Amino acid sequence: MQGFLNLNKPFGITSHDCVAKVRRLLRQKKVGHGGTLDPAATGVLPIALGKATRLLQYLREDKAYRATIKLGITTTTDDLQGEVIAEKSANNLTLEAVKIALEKFQGIIQQIPPNYSAIQVQGKRLYDLARAGENIIVAPRPVEIHQIDILDWRGGEFPELDLEIACGPGTYIRAIARDLGIVLQTGGTLAALTRTASCGLQLTKSLTFADLETQLEQGTFNPISPETVLEHLAIINLSAKEAKAWCQGQRIPLSDISTEHLGNVQQIYHEDDRFLGIGKVVNSEGNVLLLPQMVFALE
């Protein structure tokens, strides 16, 4: 079985646990995921099956989330799963003040990852270092926030703010909650998180584990095809002769291709519409060539 599963990850288990469960349900060894979700987060977890695991690096990187931020509370993990280390009444906080503060989180911003995250420092995960009591200072990293929309606001001593966030890769929503609290001088933490889109897959079309088990019992489960998930990449069609040579690792001369494709990876198809894999267009000594990057199907 090859292709992708748009899994609706449940609350309380790790992304690794999800991969292990899919592996058991499908009785398939080769299973991987695209983009870790914290145990307390739910929503879209792209799962690759079989040879499609080799395509994970080529998937779209943008993501979207629905998040609830609780203001007035600071925790060790920047979400409600951690220990509360500070509380401050935010009863006087207004939605207008929040709107102004959120303007600082638009576009490309510098973000310090949470101490409890999977980033590696000196060969160790940050969360392992944090659990061991080590205080590691991580340098800020640039991340891109495409859009933030306010969905709901519930005032009170510890107000809650529901947001819809579209962002680029490497963005920590927990860090946005923490930093928004800093800007507002109230403290802030992430109360709930659902990923609504990832790698081009949408929450509305995702499957729960119960859905997957039902489809497997009924024999109706079909993985999402690689070409569907890779639709953001341009396509190059090869003749039968060219396809055979390309699948054998040979460089294919290209005469009729736009220079805008140079340096980019492309989907490669046989002339009979079979998906063959991923190639890259390069300029070698004045010649435009198509190089195999990942061969998905052999002639």
Is 38 among the residues known to form the active site? yes
CA–CA gap between residue 18 and residue 3 (Å, rounded): 16
Beta strands in the chain (DSSP E): 3-9, 31-33, 42-49, 63-71, 73-75, 84-87, 107-111, 120-121, 124-125, 141-154, 160-167, 188-198, 201-202, 235-238, 252-253, 265-270, 275-284, 287-295
Instruction: Specify whether the CB–CB gap between 247 and 296 falls below 8 A.
Output: no
Count the residues in the chain: 299
> What is the residue whose two structure tokens read 């999402």?
224
Catalytic residue selected from 38, 78, 79, 179:
38
Distance spanning both ends of the chain, measured CA to CA: 19
Classify burial at 173, counting beta carbons within 10 Å of its beta carbon; exposed 0-12, middle 13-18, buried 19 or more: buried
Per-residue DSSP letter, 228: H
Residues serving a catalytic function are 38
